[in-house]
Amino acid sequence: MNIVIIEYNAGNIYSVVYALKRLGINPVVTADKAEILSADKIIFPGVGEAKTTMDYLKYHQLDQLLIHIKQPLLGICLGMQLMCKSSEEGNVDCLGIFDAPVLKFHPEKHEDKIPHMGWNTISNLKSNLYKNLTDNEFVYFVHSYYVPIIENTIAETNYIGNFSASLHKNNFYATQFHPEKSGKTGEKILKNFLEL
């Protein structure tokens, strides 16, 4: 299987590479448009800041490429947020694949620390991405902005309020958490994506 990881100015791409290697897949890390378009599946990872990253994607015309992808694509963390309509992080217009804003967490009490960092549960699971998973398994999150619950939500998490842990629309999938760092549960999710 030809899996492409989109290379751009985001951190942590190699964690995804290693995670796929553990599943027996040797992914290609590239920003080359032809290579991306010929992939069986595409992963759009990301740790970073929304505005800077969107500027980069636009400059390299990856934004137009991404929204027209027909293969299954999985956005991770910032990747998921950039697939939404807009982000409060830098007040930037994003790719608009999902019709939802990305909002800043507002703590309600001292214990609500930002970023939301660590292991939290996902529930209300839908779609084959969560095949063989049960509600309330733990996955690893690190983020300061969130996507509210929308019709494309396929997993929810509670921190300060309920938010989208995962989204799905047509060939586009996304997770706010890091499956590549989420132990055995994360491995199952990545495997499910590879088997879509």
Identity of the residue, 46 or 69, whose beta carbon is nearer to other proteins in the bound complex: 46
Candidates 129, 181, 189, 192: give the one binding other proteins (CB under 8 A).
181
**Region binding other proteins by CB under 8 A among candidate stretches 36-44, 67-75, 169-177, 184-192:** 184-192
- What region, left, alpha or beta, does residue 54 occupy, with left being phi > 0 and alpha being psi -120 to 50 degrees? alpha
**Site residues for other proteins, window 108-167 (CB under 8 A)?**
110, 113-121, 138, 140, 142, 158-159
156 to 175: interface string for other proteins, x by CB under 8 A: --xx----------------
**Region binding other proteins by CB under 8 A among candidate stretches 30-38, 41-49, 68-76, 83-91:** 41-49
Return all residues near 79 (Cβ < 8 A) that are at least 6 apart. Answer: 10, 43, 44, 45, 46, 174
Place of tokens 């969107």: 54
CA distance 145 to 88: 8
* Cα angle, residue 129 at apex, residues 8 and 49 outer, rounded to 5°: 30
Under rule CB under 8 A, residue 55 binds other proteins: no
Lookup: tokens for 73: 């694509």
> Omega into 115 within 30° of 0, i.e. cis?
yes
Binding site for other proteins (CB under 8 A): 11-12, 14-15, 18-19, 21-22, 47-49, 107, 110, 113-121, 138, 140, 142, 158-159, 178, 180-184, 186-187
